[in-house]
Amino acid sequence: MEKRKPERQCTGCGKKGGKENFIRIVKTSDGMISLDISGKASGRGAYVCCDVACIDKMCKGRRLDRSFRTHVDEAIYRSILEEFNKLEK
């Protein structure tokens, strides 16, 4: 039987694929939400393409509210976008 890799879905555009194609965003048990560069932080994860357009879509559509089933503060979306922009440089 073929072993299937778990599929992740981009919170921005909805594209699916292996986790290596995405950046993870984590909500830790103490409620902190941030980019998880290592991909190994414990907590609930959401995934987004390595693409500022997807991050932007995710922020504008407040998609993390649904992923994490909580109200995610505007400031958190902004800091995720900022962190991502830092990575790009």
Q: Please report, as ranges, the residues that interact with Zn ion according to CB under 5 A.
A: 10, 12-13, 15, 49, 54
Of residues 18 and 32, the one with the C-beta less far from Zn ion: 18
- CB-wise, 13 or 81, nearer to Zn ion? 13
CB of 32 to Zn ion, least distance (A): 23
Q: Amino acid identity, residue 39?
A: G
Helix (H) or strand (E) holding 8: strand 8-9
Looking at the Cβ atoms of 10 and 46, the one nearer to Zn ion is 10
